[in-house]
Amino acid sequence: MDLYNKIQETAAFIQEKITTNPKVGIILGSGLGGLVDIIQKETTIPYSDIPNFPLSTVKGHSGQMIFGKIGTCNVMLMAGRFHYYEGYSMEEVTFPVRIMKALGVETVILSNASGGTNPAFNIGDLMIIKDHINLCPEHPLRGPNDERLGTRFPDMSQAYDPELINMAKEISAQQGVGVRTGVYIGLQGPTFETPAEYRMLHTIGGDTVGMSTVAEVIVARHALMRVFAISVITDIGISDVPITITHEEVLEAANAAAPKMAALVAALVKKL
Ligand code: HPA
């Protein structure tokens, strides 16, 4: 079955289970489950029930699609995402974004944990992503283009919606939560970077680095959805002394910052 028909089949399965169609689609990163408690749940579907859906394999990712409301806004939330380093194809990594579009989503909100390459950043900082550098080894739109899904050569000049960025900055000021703005570099992982790599990533214009998000954003823009993305800085790669980084530390720092990120995203969703 080609991608278009897979999307139709999966969306039809989900459509039968939900009462209202989502306007906003949210993808949660590692350790960033805070929004799961804020959403008023209406329907929860385990990924394992969904036709054509891959299964999530990483610790800290539970693998559920949750439909419900944040305020009066209908949302769908992906608790658990697919990473290229797990062995999924780019088509699988970005399939949930295609499903969002098929179900009527207009705005996609993504979160992630990332490593700071900007020496001014601190562990636990939130960073609104204003742009990205794609250093992943494969492109999610490689191959024949299906015009029903989007144009062959999508524009990426304002991939991260400037209006949403401004709204989020205003909200964070009102909430008294400091937030950074910067450039996210997407790599495949699963190794964290070497000290020389962190330095290089900063030199080429990155403020943080991570192993997700970029492919999903590309597909969301291919599908002409608005994008907002936010990162928790869980470690700082730039240092005079070598610092070890573990997945446990990343999850711990993400968990600690999850409530402030959830509050910011919830307030943003309520304005959409
Ligand atoms: N590098 C890549 N991905 C990450 C990092 C990092 O330092 N921290 C969290 N995800």
CA dihedral 207, 219, 172, 116 (to 10 degrees): -20
User: What mean pLDDT do residues 133-144 have?
Assistant: 97
Q: Which residue has the tokens 């062995």?
A: 87
Tell which one of 83, 84, 136, 193 to mutate to probe ligand 1, the residue whose CB is within 8 A of the most ligand atoms: 193
163 CB-side CA count, 13 A: 4
- Indicate the pairing of strand 208-210 with strand 107-116: antiparallel
Output the residue whose Cα is nearest ligand 1's atom 7.
Answer: 115
Ligand 1 atom closest to Cα of residue 187: 2
The alpha carbon of 192 and the centre of ligand 1 are apart by a number of angstroms equal to 6
Output the residue whose Cα is nearest ligand 1's atom 10.
Answer: 114
What is the Cα 232 distance to its own chain's centre? 11
Domains annotated for the chain, with CATH where assigned, are: 3-270 (3.40.50.1580)
Give pLDDT, residue 258: 87
More confident residue, 114 or 56: 114
User: What mean pLDDT do residues 209-218 have?
Assistant: 97
The alpha carbon of 199 and the centre of ligand 1 are apart by a number of angstroms equal to 14
Distance CA 112, CA 215 (A): 13
Residue 59 has pLDDT above 60, yes or no: no
User: What mean pLDDT do residues 77-84 have?
Assistant: 91
Which range is least confidently modeled, 92-96, 151-155, 252-256?
Answer: 252-256
| pLDDT confidence tier of residue 132, bands split at 50, 70 and 90 | very high
Give pLDDT, residue 242: 72
Output the residue whose Cα is nearest ligand 1's atom 2.
Answer: 210
User: What mean pLDDT do residues 80-94 have?
Assistant: 93
Whether residue 138 contacts residue 90, with contact meaning beta carbons closer than 8 Å, is answered with yes
Could you tell me the pTM of the whole model?
0.95
User: What mean pLDDT do residues 192-201 have?
Assistant: 94
Percentage of the chain surpassing pLDDT 90? 79
Distance CA 255, CA 113 (A): 10
Tell which one of 121, 127, 211 to mutate to probe ligand 1, the residue whose CB is within 8 A of the most ligand atoms: 211
